[in-house]
Homo-oligomer: A and B are copies of this chain.
Amino acid sequence: MSKLQEKVAALPAERCCPALTERELTAEEAELTAAMFKALGDPVRLRLFSKVASHPDSEACVCDIADVGVSQPTVSHHLKKLKEAGLLTSERRGTWVYYRVEPSVLAAMGHLLTPTPASAQVA
């Protein structure tokens, strides 16, 4: 969490790592990238992320998305994880806390999954 988290936070996010098909990842690249995938690798977190991402302006109050079948503290725990992974940001406005999807993150992860030129040739 500690040092890895700093590295993730320090990333431009728009361009962390090459596409998975471009060349093999270095150990460090793999560690950074895996952290993002890992954050989305839990059903509850994925639902929370999806709820925020599909809300208007990609923003939602905790109270709007907390209904995912686990206790509220657990929801808070997962939101924290998503935040640490750089996938969400949060802001308190009065009583409520709003979570927002960083659009650049989606683009970066999408880039990671760009099909290889080689397979494009084959296809």
- By a beta-carbon cutoff of 8 Å, the part of chain A in contact with chain B is 20-25, 27, 30-31, 33-35, 37-47, 49-51, 53-54, 56-58, 68-69, 101, 103, 106-107, 109-110, 113-116, 118-119, 122-123
Chain B residues near A43: list those with CB within 8 A: 27, 30-31, 34
From residue A69, how far is it (CB to closest CB) to chain B in Å? Answer: 7
Copy number in the complex reads 2
Contact indicator B53/A21 (Cβ below 8 Å): yes
Q: 20 A-B pairs, CB-CB below 8 angstroms?
A: A20-B54, A21-B54, A21-B58, A24-B50, A24-B51, A25-B46, A25-B50, A27-B47, A27-B68, A30-B46, A35-B41, A37-B41, A38-B42, A39-B41, A58-B119, A101-B119, A103-B115, A103-B123, A110-B115, A113-B113
| Closest B residue by C-beta to A32 | B43
- B103 A54 Cβ-Cβ under 8 A: no
Cross-chain contact B106 with A113 (CB below 8 angstroms): yes
Q: Nearest Cβ distance between residue A37 and chain B, in whole angstroms?
A: 4
